[in-house]
Amino acid sequence: MSSSTQFPPLKGDASLLLAYQLHSKRVLLIGGGPVAASRLTHALEADALVTLLCPSSGLCPELLYRLSDPWCKSRITYHDRPWLGTEDLDLDGGADMVLSATDDPGVSKSVCVAARSRRVPVNVADVPEECDFHFGSTIRDGPLQVLVSTGGRGPKVANLIRRRLERALPEKCGMAIDRVGELRRRLRARAPGREEGKKRMHWMVGICEAWELEDLAELEEGDIEVLLRDGWEKGKVLSPKDLGKVGKGKEKVDNGLNWRREGIAGLLGAVVGAAVVGLAVFVRSSR
Amino acid sequence: MSSSTQFPPLKGDASLLLAYQLHSKRVLLIGGGPVAASRLTHALEADALVTLLCPSSGLCPELLYRLSDPWCKSRITYHDRPWLGTEDLDLDGGADMVLSATDDPGVSKSVCVAARSRRVPVNVADVPEECDFHFGSTIRDGPLQVLVSTGGRGPKVANLIRRRLERALPEKCGMAIDRVGELRRRLRARAPGREEGKKRMHWMVGICEAWELEDLAELEEGDIEVLLRDGWEKGKVLSPKDLGKVGKGKEKVDNGLNWRREGIAGLLGAVVGAAVVGLAVFVRSSR
């Protein structure tokens, strides 16, 4: 499409991956089955306010359970009736996002047309062409979230890939994010000036390059103090070693070689080899 | 927040991760620096139509380059002027998404207020509270896209994690998605009935469980034919072994043990051990 030595060529046909913020936004959810329940979960975890539209006869056990839970209930406005038309977009102050999860193609179509007429982002389960966005396979570890998307092309393969990535994630990634956040906060408190912004950013990048995730996750209050006092103040980026730490991360990363394992195997081999030859000589000489 | 043995408790404070579809949607982009250039790249790769608003004096080299490229140019409507106000949301047919990347806090604020008054999703670079969504650190391999998000809490750590995940991804993940897509298409052509939908889904899940990503990536036309003819038709899920394949994936996955490596180390050790004892005996007996 375009090429330059300086700027990378563009590859079209992608989705735009986003971390949508729904805090105190309103999501209109139409439907009552397991897919609707899964959508509700996603919306509530993102701190959305939810308007749920479904005749009570169509509510699945999970939705009934969520509606009986005090915390969930406080975030859900439930209407015991089906979708009636465009004016439902105005319910409870108006929808910022619309999720349809019904089996009725007529309802799906009507919901999609209504939402698009107002440019409100809409997802209709199982109907790609009626979706302004897709959900994918996700991982969550506290503040860390990972989305694996195949642009709706292969949900099962997305799950396979998600599982592979899950195994590769260090155990305490979420914790690492929290600790780095704390370091940044403390740095800002120590050097708050706007003119120091670039220097702060540079130093934080340096830390993230010198430390592996496993080590960042173990940053304690005292370590942060040392990093700032003996590092930042002296224009230095201290490493885990400088802080007398083993540096767990690095070892694990070096592309999977495991010298200790191979060393033991070699040693065992040597002993066996020696024993065999020794035995042969012994047997021979004692004949 | 809520708990049940049957349904998982909810953990709030998350983002809603989405794969947004921008094909032939219009993105309004305000700004001309490197951040604006990066936003433009994302929008164009997602096949969006872009309205770019920036005085020509403020265009960075990358934007100038993109505007000179025929393919990009055909997707960008460029207005050589600054943001004027809410009515700019109607430019070129109206914006479905607004991205602001200027250094001017007044402009940022005005763009955000305007977009929110119409419920058009907006992102203002570097101002979290003026963002309806965040970008994160991403990986792309053809149809595969991965987003690493810290909810705006730590872009540098997100990059660290992204690099770690990148190393863990099998080389041909995108290819695996394509091949599975092809298998699904061929299966649908062979058993198109709606009543067979569940059976088809079941079988595809079985394939994705029996095959590793590395093996799926190598699925050739002939293999697909065999999978369908000797597998699907007989109600069976064939494995890579059934097709006379080595099954590369499985070997690689088994949690990093590398028997061949250790075997060679052991063998070498045995030879060395044998040689040492042999030499000792030889030296002793020739004295």
Q: What is the pLDDT of residue B105?
A: 92
Q: How far apart are CA B75 and CA B60, in angstroms?
A: 18
* Residue B256 banded pLDDT, cuts 50, 70, 90: very low
Q: Do A156 and A225 reside in the same domain of the chain?
A: no
Q: How far apart are CA A7 and CA A9, in angstroms?
A: 6
**β-pair partners for A178:** none
Residue in chain A nearest B217 by alpha carbon: A157
Domain count, chain A: 3
8 Å CB contact of A10 and B267: no
Q: How far apart are CA B177 and CA B204, in angstroms?
A: 13
Q: Do A152 and A228 reside in the same domain of the chain?
A: no
Q: Confirm whether B202 is domain-assigned.
A: yes
Instruction: Please give, rounded to a whole number of angstroms, the shortest distance from the CA of A53 to a CA of chain B.
Output: 21
CB pairs under 8 A between A and B: 349
8 Å CB contact of B2 and A69: yes
Higher pLDDT: B79 or B255? It is: B79
Asked which of B135, B154, B186 is the last residue of a domain, the reply is B135
Q: Do A51 and A118 reside in the same domain of the chain?
A: yes
Q: Do A157 and A199 reside in the same domain of the chain?
A: no
Under a CB-based contact definition with an 8 Å cutoff, are residues B273 and A272 in contact? yes
8 Å CB contact of A11 and B205: no
Q: What is the pLDDT of residue B258?
A: 47
Q: Do A192 and A213 reside in the same domain of the chain?
A: yes
* Residue B4 banded pLDDT, cuts 50, 70, 90: low
Q: Do A53 and A96 reside in the same domain of the chain?
A: yes
Q: What is the pLDDT of residue A85?
A: 97
Please choose, from the candidates A9, A168, A223, A183, the residue with its C-alpha nearest in 3D space to the C-alpha of residue B70.
A9
Residue B224 neighbours by CB under 8 Å, 6+ apart: B179, B182, B183, B186
Coil vs helix vs strand at A236: coil
Instruction: Please give, rounded to a whole number of angstroms, the shortest distance from the CA of B11 to a CA of chain A.
Output: 6
Q: Which of B80, B92, B103, B126 is catalytic?
A: B126
Q: Using one digit for the tens of pLDDT, what is the confidence trace for A122-156?
A: 999 988 899 999 999 999 999 999 999 997 778 88
Q: Using one digit for the tens of pLDDT, what is the confidence trace for B177-198?
A: 999 999 999 999 999 987 888 8
**β-pair partners for B29:** B52, B99
Residue found by looking up tokens 């080299």 in the block = B61
Please choose, from the candidates B103, B128, B123, B126, the residue with its C-alpha nearest in 3D space to the C-alpha of residue B32.
B103
Q: What is the pLDDT of residue A236?
A: 95
Q: Do B205 and B228 reside in the same domain of the chain?
A: yes
pLDDT along chain A (287 residues), means of 10: 71 95 95 96 97 98 96 96 97 97 95 94 91 94 95 84 93 92 92 86 92 93 96 95 78 46 71 78 73
Residue A102 neighbours by CB under 8 Å, 6+ apart: A30, A31, A33, A36, A83, A108
Residue B72 neighbours by CB under 8 Å, 6+ apart: A1, A2, A10, B44, B66
Q: Do B223 and B180 reside in the same domain of the chain?
A: yes
Under a CB-based contact definition with an 8 Å cutoff, are residues B120 and B30 in contact? no
Q: Confirm whether A31 is domain-assigned.
A: yes
Q: Is the pLDDT assigned to residue B237 strictly greater than 80? A: yes
Q: Confirm whether A287 is domain-assigned.
A: no
State the ipTM, two decimals. 0.81
Q: Confirm whether B104 is domain-assigned.
A: yes
Q: Confirm whether A286 is domain-assigned.
A: no
**Residues 219-248, chain A: which have Cβ within 8 Å of B?**
none
Coil vs helix vs strand at A148: strand
Q: Which of A47, A90, A103, A126 is catalytic?
A: A126
Instruction: Please give, rounded to a whole number of angstroms, the shortest distance from the CA of B200 to a CA of chain A.
Output: 12
CATH number at residue B54: 3.40.50.720
Under a CB-based contact definition with an 8 Å cutoff, are residues B125 and B58 in contact? no
Amino acid at B207: I
Q: Is the pLDDT assigned to residue B50 strictly greater than 90? A: yes
Nearest by CB to A157, from B147, B154, B180: name it: B180
Q: Is the pLDDT assigned to residue B60 strictly greater than 90? A: yes
Q: What is the pLDDT of residue B24?
A: 86
Q: Confirm whether B193 is domain-assigned.
A: yes
8 Å CB contact of A164 and B167: no
Other beta carbons within 10 Å of A195? 7
* Residue B259 banded pLDDT, cuts 50, 70, 90: low
B35 at A interface, C-beta within 8 A: no
**Which residues in chain A touch residue B275, judged by CB atoms under 8 angstroms apart?**
273
Q: Do B117 and B76 reside in the same domain of the chain?
A: yes
Q: Using one digit for the tens of pLDDT, what is the confidence trace for B128-160?
A: 899 999 999 999 999 999 999 997 778 889 999
Q: Do A193 and A210 reside in the same domain of the chain?
A: yes
Instruction: Please give, rounded to a whole number of angstroms, the shortest distance from the CA of A182 to a CA of chain B.
Output: 10
B250 at A interface, C-beta within 8 A: no
Q: Using one digit for the tens of pLDDT, what is the confidence trace for A16-51?
A: 999 999 998 999 999 999 999 999 999 999 999 999
Query: Mean pLDDT across the stretch B105-116?
Result: 96
Q: Do A120 and A35 reside in the same domain of the chain?
A: yes
8 Å CB contact of A168 and B164: yes
Q: In angstroms, how far apart are the furthest CA atoms of chain B?
A: 103
To the query of whether residue B178 is one of the catalytic residues in this protein, the response is no
**β-pair partners for A26:** A49
Q: Confirm whether A258 is domain-assigned.
A: no
Under a CB-based contact definition with an 8 Å cutoff, are residues A25 and A96 in contact? yes
Q: What is the pLDDT of residue A257?
A: 44
**Residues 80-99, chain A: which have Cβ within 8 Å of B?**
94, 96
Q: Do A164 and A177 reside in the same domain of the chain?
A: no
Q: Confirm whether A6 is domain-assigned.
A: no
User: Which of B150, B202, B267 best tests the A interface by mutation, with the highest count of A CBs <10 A?
Assistant: B150
Give me the domain span that covers residue A50: 26-134
B274 at A interface, C-beta within 8 A: yes
Q: What is the pLDDT of residue A153?
A: 77
